């Protein structure tokens, strides 16, 4: 199973994505390296299609593992959300890219984004037990 990304909408979402990753290629590339190799696409009526098994699902029936918001450095109107998803039918892990904001050309993306459940928050760091010098060597 792919590494589970963590993070909310605005947080970095994977260890494989640099904290300063700001481009779509950076985010999708990092998630691909972590095992999210599949793809999803938006459909009319707030639905999402898994491109592995071709199943069409209501956006509200998906379970985003993580989401990352991107805004273009040179064009603030270039607003995207990249979601890391797992298909509930075939278990494929992949990404879905959605446009949002006033310049977004596709109503389908806005409908899907509105209906996607929120990604879970990142897990809380676990306290490390103290180690002795002998254990560290």
Instruction: Dump pLDDT digits (tens) for 79-91.
Output: 888 999 999 999 9
The whole-number pLDDT of residue 63 equals 83
pLDDT of the residue at 132: 56
Torsion of CA 64, 100, 18, 36, to 10 degrees: 40
Q: Are 94 and 41 in contact (CB under 8 A)?
A: no
Domain count, the chain: 1
Residue 72 lies in a domain: yes
DSSP 128: P
Structure confidence at residue 123 (pLDDT): 63
pTM (whole model) above 0.75 = no
Q: For residue 126, is it within any domain? A: no
How much is the pLDDT for 19?
45
On whether residue 127 sits in a domain, the answer given is: no
Which pLDDT score is estimated for 6?
43
Question: Is 129 a domain residue?
Answer: no
Instruction: Give the residue ranges of the chain where pLDDT is below 50.
Output: 5-20
């Amino acid at each position: 199973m792919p590494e589970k990304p963590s993070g909310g909408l605005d947080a970095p979402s994977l260890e494989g994505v640099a904290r300063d990753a700001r481009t779509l290629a950076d985010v999708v590339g990092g998630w691909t390296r972590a095992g999210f190799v599949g793809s999803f696409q938006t459909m009319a009526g707030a639905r999402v299609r898994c491109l592995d098994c071709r199943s069409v699902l209501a956006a509200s029936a998906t379970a985003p593992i993580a989401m990352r918001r991107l805004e273009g450095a040179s064009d603030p109107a270039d607003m995207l959300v990249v979601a890391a998803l797992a298909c509930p039918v075939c278990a494929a892990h992949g990404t879905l890219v959605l446009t949002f904001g006033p310049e977004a050309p596709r109503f389908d993306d806005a409908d899907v984004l509105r209906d996607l459940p929120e990604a879970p928050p990142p897990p809380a760091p676990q306290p490390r037990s103290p180690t002795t010098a002998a254990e560290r060597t």
